[in-house]
Amino acid sequence: MSKLRPASARQVLQVLNKFGFRVVRQSGSHIHLLGTDDETFVTVPNHAEISKYTLNYIIKQSRIDRETFLKLL
């Protein structure tokens, strides 16, 4: 299992876009995305560095396999 490392919001958004997530709105420094099934909702903080704990939660929210997500990151 790969170790999580901090990543930027830009990197995370690129990975989520590859899985079909699209930006639906932005409130303050948080970007809200909706999955292709119109049920999966993910919130990404628009920061230069997202902590590994927050990144882990984003992966869980997106319902994407952790290893697949980290390979694309």
Per-residue pLDDT tens over the stretch 18-62? 999 999 999 999 999 999 998 899 999 999 999 999 999 999 999
Residue range of the domain that includes 31: 9-72
CB < 8 Å & 24+ apart, contacts of 12-15: 12/44, 12/50, 12/55, 12/58, 12/73, 13/44, 14/72, 15/69, 15/72, 15/73
User: Does the pLDDT of residue 4 top 90, yes or no?
Assistant: no
Q: Any idea which residue has 């999955």 for tokens?
A: 35
Q: Amino acid identity of 22?
A: R
3: in domain = no
- With respect to residue 4, please indicate whether it lies within any of the assigned structural domains: no
Residue 2 belongs to some domain of the structure: no
Residue 8: its pLDDT value, please?
Answer: 95
Residue 1 covered by a domain: no
**What is the count of structural domains for the chain?**
1
3-class SS of residue 32: strand
Whether the Cβ atoms of residue 61 and residue 19 lie closer than 8 Å to each other: no
| The model's pTM | 0.89
